[in-house]
Amino acid sequence: MTEAALKLTRRQFGKAMGTVVVAFSLAPRLAGAQTLKLPGSLANNPMLDAWLRINADGSATIFTGKVELGQGISTALVQIAADELDLPLARVEMISGDTAQTPDEGYTSGSQSIENGGTAIRLACAQARALLVDHAAERLGLSAEALTVSEGVIAAPDGRKLGYGELVAGLDLRREITAKVAPKPLKELTFVGRSMPRRDIPAKVTGGAAYVQDVRLPGMVHGRVVRPPRYGARLDTVDDAAAKAVPGVVAVVRDGSFLGVVTEREEQAVKARDALIRAAKWSGGSELPDPTRLHEELIALPTQSSVVSEKQATVSPAAQTFEATYTRPYMAHASIGPSCAVAQFKDGSLTVWTHSQGVFPLRRDIAKALKLDVGAVRCVHAEGSGCYGHNGADDVALDAALLARAVPERPVRLQWMRDDEFAWEPYGSAMIARAKASLDASGRIVDWDHEVWSHTHSTRPSAPGADNNLLASWYVAEPSKPGPPTNIPQPAGGGDRNAVPLYDFPNQRVVNHLITGMPLRVSALRTLGAYTNVFAIESFMDELAVATEQDPAAFRLAHLSDRRAREVLEVVTRRAAWKAGEKGDGVRGRGIAFAKYKNLATYVAVIAEVEIDRKSARIRVPRAFAAADAGQIINLDGLANQIEGGMIQSTSWTLHEAVRFDRDGVTSRDWSSYPILTTPEAPETFVTLIDHNQEKPLGAGEASQGPMAAAIANAFANATGRRLRDLPFTPERVQVALG
């Protein structure tokens, strides 16, 4: 790195901070709580040494509650820390998601890690650097503004130098964070805003230890579990003789209707599991809805309904009114690697290595399920296969713990089998969205109505009171019940995420219906309700434009005053050379769609191309363009990778994905019964990133999925003149639409 040493310009902050720190340190905690709320994740973790340590060799160790899920967060957070601390990337180490070491930042979800976790690290590191500089100034008998800092070395004009390692011995970082030291101005940032190679990728492409699946401990044994044939079934009897006859069996573990096995070798666990499946006798369990009438049955279930947005104005009279209903099925996270955990009981304490998105909430539910003190449970994050929300990660952790309890001292590694994951993970909710709009004689929307029906989108761990959200806790001899279904309130929303349109409609009413029953297990799947609501709103906008013979891009802009929203639409139409009023030719067509994720995060506009094979009734998406505005960009290529990935994953959801079931249970149990997009089907993506580096950084991991779905639907309509309103767009549905 040849970056010129930076002149210190922050003396005033350092001074101010000194006084404030003393005031905070002396004040009782309650008084501190009455002061201004700290930003981001600092609010719940206000001590500086919770976030970082300066090591004796002058390097830094950053502690974060946010975890790597394959989204590149560990690299982005190191970029932020290295910039604020004036350290090279290689001298910043990151420890993430460990209940014994890191701050509790809840879940790594909702595209909030940069906004909340990144803000916390930025402010903590800025304060630590200022403290180091002040301490150096004192030692050197100079004023802080006389000093320069480069690569962890503070230098005086006379050539004297002090490294962070030498300074840290005399500096106590156990103090409250003030958030009063201003982070660096943009022009002084070296790493943030550029494309930085991900730190985790070299190991992942060379067979390095990178995942919880790769954890190997001395004396480790292997586990497998046997799940009931359907939700809620009870284990009547199991003759475990055949399982116990499998060589290497250490223990067959039964606790009520929880059943599992521990063996010396992994393949033995698979064989013993098969033997237990054959021997187990189950009864009862719940009946599932009729899959051929799924959405009718769901809409008839009890709901908690609320108006989430209402606007009224006097406008010109309605000339035309339109109405349409859109649906999506239950969708699976379908991680490539089934969920896995390693658990060990030792001296009354439990340690679990897990790819949970929230080690602290997981710890609370594990402790409840095992009747342990929370302090006796440690959860340590290790990466898993991409999860895209709440998959089996947390459940397998309790499963492993239940097995480990039966073989004290020995670490138990448990990876679910493929059918465990498909049949038992919590799915993304099936949903219904009904849109209605009136236009005046000039073709402007004067009234907008949107109603959405959905199950909850979060049944993550840390259920209230004695409830428990971990799967096995409902089946053990003393079972818990799951926590009550809840909806994440607006403005983020759950089922109603992105249900409130960003357009300027003079009259509008948005109603959320939370379906309180849960015939299939559901929880958070990437974007929650936003994928459905954006699909519905953006399909409907397209339908209105087409019905009134207006260009869909111009029609959107005519109803949109948000400057940044207009910009992504304008950029994508230029990039894709969109022609006003362009028409498809029966086989090929293009469609446009837009959203600001959660109405709070990244703006994305998409133009997708489709090709329809009329014989097979298959839709292909050869190319798609996107323009994205994520505010200040931390890692340019990392952001592009997230937007591209979202577009391609959404193509898979939109064309292929639906959890299959019959009245007896889930029948999607492998990749042939839950097909996803293959490489030849993946669209080529062209992403334009708009860097508004004066704006705050916005979450981007879930921003492109909704617009991509609607762009595909709109492209199909552009090509054929027919509408697809029910996801996914399978050949059967395409056939019906084409007539």
Partner 1 sequence: MAISLKVNGLQRSVPAEADTPLLYVLRNDLALNGAKFGCGLSQCGACTVLLDGRAVRSCVTEIGTIGEAEITTIEGLGTVDTPHPLQQAFIDLQAAQCGYCINGMIMTAKDLLDQNPHPTITEVREALAQNLCRCGTHGRIVRAVLRAAQNMGKKT
Query: Which residues make up the interface to partner 1 (CB under 8 A)?
Result: 69-72, 197-198, 200-211, 213-214, 216, 222, 265-267, 270, 334-338, 383-386, 388, 415, 417-418, 637-638, 641-642, 644-652, 670-672, 676-680, 682-685
487-510 burial, b at 16+ Cβ within 10 Å, e below that, comes to bbebebbbbbbbbbbbbebbbbbb
Residue 109 Cβ, how far from partner 1 at the closest point, in Å?
A: 15
Nearer to partner 1, 366 or 407 (CB): 407
What tokens appear for 320 in the block? 């035309």
Taking residue 542's Cβ as centre, other Cβ atoms within 10 Å add up to 24
Residue 386 Cβ, how far from partner 1 at the closest point, in Å?
A: 3
DSSP string computed for 151-178: TTEEE-TTS-EEEHHHHHTT----SB--
Lookup result for tokens 């250490």: 250
CA neighbor of 394 nearest in space, from 381, 403, 405: 381
Residue 644 Cβ, how far from partner 1 at the closest point, in Å?
A: 6
DSSP string computed for 537-596: HHHHHHHHHHHTT--HHHHHHHT---HHHHHHHHHHHHHTT--TT----SSEEEEEEEEE
263 contacts 221 by C-beta, under 8 angstroms: yes
Residue 275 Cβ, how far from partner 1 at the closest point, in Å?
A: 15
Nearer to partner 1, 257 or 391 (CB): 391
Nearer to partner 1, 333 or 434 (CB): 333
Residue 661 Cβ, how far from partner 1 at the closest point, in Å?
A: 20
CA neighbor of 520 nearest in space, from 657, 389, 424: 424
Residue 222 Cβ, how far from partner 1 at the closest point, in Å?
A: 8
Residue 358 Cβ, how far from partner 1 at the closest point, in Å?
A: 18
Nearer to partner 1, 280 or 647 (CB): 647
Ramachandran category for residue 332: left, alpha or beta (phi over 0 → left; psi -120 to 50 → alpha): beta
Nearer to partner 1, 36 or 205 (CB): 205
Residue 591 Cβ, how far from partner 1 at the closest point, in Å?
A: 19
Burial of residue 44, with CB atoms counted within 10 A of its CB: 0-12 exposed, 13-18 middle, 19 or more buried:
middle
Taking residue 286's Cβ as centre, other Cβ atoms within 10 Å add up to 14
Nearer to partner 1, 446 or 621 (CB): 621
Residue 218 Cβ, how far from partner 1 at the closest point, in Å?
A: 12
Nearer to partner 1, 237 or 679 (CB): 679
> Which of helix, strand or coil describes residue 321?
strand
Residue 665 Cβ, how far from partner 1 at the closest point, in Å?
A: 19
Nearer to partner 1, 207 or 739 (CB): 207
Cis peptide before 489 (omega within 30 of 0): no
Residue 385 Cβ, how far from partner 1 at the closest point, in Å?
A: 4
Query: Cα–Cα distance between 619 and 610 in angstroms, integer?
Result: 7
Residue 266 Cβ, how far from partner 1 at the closest point, in Å?
A: 5
Lookup result for tokens 């990437």: 526
Query: Cα–Cα distance between 608 and 589 in angstroms, integer?
Result: 8
586 contacts 523 by C-beta, under 8 angstroms: no
Nearer to partner 1, 532 or 685 (CB): 685
Find how far residue 500's CA is from the centre of its chain.
21
Nearer to partner 1, 414 or 719 (CB): 414
Burial of residue 681, with CB atoms counted within 10 A of its CB: 0-12 exposed, 13-18 middle, 19 or more buried:
middle
> Which of helix, strand or coil describes residue 76?
helix
Residue 336 Cβ, how far from partner 1 at the closest point, in Å?
A: 5
Separation of first and last alpha carbons in the chain: 64
Nearer to partner 1, 67 or 518 (CB): 67
Beta bridge partners of residue 304, listed in sequence order: 514
CA distances from 407 to 213, 219, 253, 256, 404 (A): 20, 11, 10, 18, 5
Query: Cα–Cα distance between 229 and 335 in angstroms, integer?
Result: 21
Taking residue 100's Cβ as centre, other Cβ atoms within 10 Å add up to 11
CA distances from 656 to 8, 523, 650 (A): 56, 20, 10
Nearer to partner 1, 501 or 645 (CB): 645
Taking residue 517's Cβ as centre, other Cβ atoms within 10 Å add up to 13
Residue 205 Cβ, how far from partner 1 at the closest point, in Å?
A: 5
Residue 243 Cβ, how far from partner 1 at the closest point, in Å?
A: 16
Amino acid at 298: L
Nearer to partner 1, 263 or 468 (CB): 263
Beta bridge partners of residue 537, listed in sequence order: none
Nearer to partner 1, 567 or 637 (CB): 637
Residue 403 Cβ, how far from partner 1 at the closest point, in Å?
A: 17
DSSP state at residue 117: I
138-167 burial, b at 16+ Cβ within 10 Å, e below that, comes to eebeeebeebbbbbbbbbbeeeeebbbebb
Residue 396 Cβ, how far from partner 1 at the closest point, in Å?
A: 13
Nearer to partner 1, 385 or 454 (CB): 385
What tokens appear for 281 in the block? 């006798």
Nearer to partner 1, 157 or 680 (CB): 680
Nearer to partner 1, 72 or 699 (CB): 72
Residue 529 Cβ, how far from partner 1 at the closest point, in Å?
A: 20
CA neighbor of 595 nearest in space, from 490, 689, 702: 702
CA distances from 703 to 20, 341, 520, 565, 630 (A): 39, 30, 26, 13, 9
Beta bridge partners of residue 94, listed in sequence order: 62
Nearer to partner 1, 88 or 337 (CB): 337
5-33 burial, b at 16+ Cβ within 10 Å, e below that, comes to eeebebbebbeebeebbeebeeeeeeeee
